[in-house]
Amino acid sequence: MRIGNASGFYGDRASAWLEMLDGGRLDVLTGDYLAELTMLILGRDRMKDPATGYAKTFLRQLEGVLGTALERGTKLVTNAGGLNPAGLAEAVERLAERLGLHVRVGYVTGDDVTERAAALGLGTPLTANAYLGAFGIAECLTEGADIVVTGRVTDASLVVGPAVAHFGWTRDDLDALAGATVAGHILECGAQATGGNFAFFTELPDGGRRPGFPLAELRADGSAVITKHPGTGGAVTVETVTAQLLYEIGAPAYLGPDVVTHFDTIELRADGPDRVLVQGVRGSLPPPTLKVGVNTLGGFRNSMTFVLCGLQIEQKAALVRDQLEAAVGGDGLEFVLARTDRPDAEDEQAASALLAVHLKSQDPKRAGRTFSQAAVELALSSYPGLTLTGPPGDATPFGVFSARFVPHEAVEHVAVLPDGTRRPITPPAKTADPPPAKSPETGSYRGPTTRAPFGTLFGARSGDKGGDANVGVWARDDAGYAWLRGFGTDEFKALLPETRDLTVERFELPNLRAVNFVVHGILGEGVAASTRFDPQGKALGEWLRSRVVDLPSELLP
């Protein structure tokens, strides 16, 4: 079974659906549009117009490829339904009618528990959506759907569902479900599996200029070959696949609604040019609860950035702090000074630092013009050379994300078939508490060393999970991994001082020659509320790779 991906997020390459359909044979083409932040965006859309709440870009992309997909028999599966899968399904049918095409559309619903949130102990959020599994998607495909639209399902379910329908797996086929989950995790972020955001991008054949989108050749036992269409950019290698496997994960026991996938059992090996075999994945019973992504409105926020040039940067920043606190009060104010300046610089920008000032408040007026105008009013009465990077503006609302958990039975998982029949999906009959996570640490390397950037020998990929972030690090060979196993949380915190006062968990993935660090709380209340320079933690891995450390001399080029 050949299954590809054409979207890794809401806003991905618009032409990817056409590229994937024209590039070669596919049984199924998926599109992932939902992230934690996206659900908040769609929630705000729905507040303005209850008929919306889905990813509108999918319709624009579909218009140019629907006929091609139907002609070639390629099924389309997407979570672009967001908060309104029924609404998107209807819109797809209207689009097909306008194009003179007949299409059978199924959709999966029941994930939205916002109206029952209080009864489930989730408070009164803007959105509350359970992460459903794959069997609703499979039911729609089995009953003849050409397109399946879902709301919040796990990203990997977009791949697992079609595999269940194609191979006839049941809930007892845990290893096969786990293998397909791994394939889904590799495909879900699109070009990240083919060289996008890759630590060693300069080594790619085209320098990473336009990586193609990935596809998987899935087999009945759950193993798969990850590849891409011939002639597309980027590359599929053991390392590009490893990098994506480390993205946004926690403990090796990867929890899902249908299966717990044990990432420490994954085996990778090259299977020819741009082909990587993924096999050996083991699965165990799913946990007794479903994850629910809860978004609440946290208040209002605003930011202004001051340019500080030349001498006495610290004193200039202190003056702005004193003046703004006197003008609007210190509650909710945050000052972040980025020392981008260089001494004796040959151009003005290189002589300048940036002071970002953020304000969060429950009062939209205080966070709005009261704050931004107070910043502007300092223009002639503060430090020498005061410049702002933008004009005053109004406050914007921000959301707070949290992950909560409810029993499977508390959520009604429903497949709505192309003929309109509503078919409930029975939750798993057998569940088990997840195994305890182990985090071993070994001794340090004792041989001769040379000071060099960490990334000389190691790749990394990082990303966000609510208020946490993970940094997955991999070695390029066995000797490098032998050293990496001695790299513990103390060393990690020393290199990334912003993590020093936070809880950091460490997990080993020997089959991938990798170590995964989970940094709890570094993103505060989640992406939408974070005031960090890197609010999604996407560059934490590259920061780590840039730090100079004592590396084994014998391993350095």
Percent of the chain with pLDDT over 90: 91
CB 439 within 8 A of CB 319: no
Do the Cβ atoms of 494 and 549 come closer than 8 Å?
Answer: no
- Calculate mean pLDDT across residues 108-130: 96
- The pLDDT, as a whole number, for residue 36 is 83
Report the pLDDT averaged over residues 514-529: 91
Please provide the DSSP assignment of 417-444 as one string. Answer: -TTS-EEEPPPPS---PPPPP-----PP
| Radius of gyration of the chain measured on its C-alpha atoms | 25
Dihedral angle of Cα 242, 248, 252, 258, to the nearest 10 degrees: -110
Distance (Å, whole) CA 139 – CA 427: 14
- Termini Cα distance of the chain: 42
Mean pLDDT of 50-55: 93
- Residue 78 amino acid letter: T
Q: Would you state the pLDDT for residue 526? A: 82
C-beta of residue 389 within 8 angstroms of C-beta of residue 305: yes
Q: Is residue 443 very low, low, confident or very high in pLDDT (cuts 50, 70, 90)? A: low
pLDDT at 218: 98
Q: What is the pLDDT of residue 442?
A: 67
Least confident range from 187-201, 341-355, 388-402: namely 388-402
Phi, psi of 233 (to 5 degrees): -80, 180
Higher pLDDT, 2 or 534: 2
pLDDT at residue number 183: 98
Q: What's the pTM value of the predicted model, to 2 decimals?
A: 0.94
Residue 239: which region, alpha, beta or left (left: phi > 0; alpha: psi -120 to 50)?
alpha
Task: Say yes or no to pLDDT of 519 above 80.
Answer: yes
Q: Are strands 260-262 and 458-465 parallel, antiparallel or unpaired?
A: unpaired
- The per-residue b/e assignment along 151-168, b for 16 or more CB within 10 angstroms, e otherwise, is bbbbbbbbbbbbbbbbbe
Looking at residue 311, its pLDDT comes to 97
* Residue 423 banded pLDDT, cuts 50, 70, 90: very high
Residues 6+ apart with CB under 8 A from 181: 156, 159, 160, 254, 256, 258, 259, 261, 281, 283
Chain centroid to Cα 97, Å, comes to 35
Tokens of 116: 């029952």
Question: In this model, does residue 438 exceed pLDDT 80?
Answer: no
DSSP line for 90-114: HHHHHHHHHHT----EEEEE--B-G
Across the range 227-244, mean pLDDT stands at: 98
Per residue in 341-380, pLDDT (tens digit) is: 999 999 999 999 999 999 999 999 999 999 999 999 999 9
> Is the CATH code 3.30.70.2750 the one for domain 294-400?
yes
Provide mean pLDDT across the span 446-450: 88
Whole-angstrom CA distances from 491 to 160, 348, 448, 485 are: 38, 37, 18, 12
Cα torsion 207, 239, 496, 463: sign: positive
Q: What is the pLDDT of residues 126-152, one digit of tens each?
A: 999 999 999 999 999 999 999 999 999
Range with lowest mean pLDDT among 152-166, 167-181, 270-284, 517-531: 517-531
* pLDDT tens sequence across 278-307: 999 999 999 999 999 999 989 999 999 999
Q: What is the DSSP letter of 202?
A: G
- Separation of alpha carbons 254 and 435, rounded Å: 10
Q: What is the DSSP letter of 369?
A: I
Q: What is the pLDDT of residue 522?
A: 95
CA distance 5 to 26: 10
Distance between CA atoms of 258 and 55, rounded to whole angstroms? Answer: 26
- Residue-wise pLDDT tens digits, 76-101: 999 999 999 999 999 999 999 999 99
Q: Name the token pair of 200.
A: 């060693």
Q: What is the pLDDT of residue 437?
A: 79
Q: Is the pLDDT assigned to residue 65 strictly greater than 80? A: yes
Residue 37 has pLDDT above 90, yes or no: no
In percent, how much of the chain has pLDDT > 70? 99
Nearest partner of 360 among 293, 295, 297, judged by Cα: 297
Q: Share the mean pLDDT of the chain.
A: 96
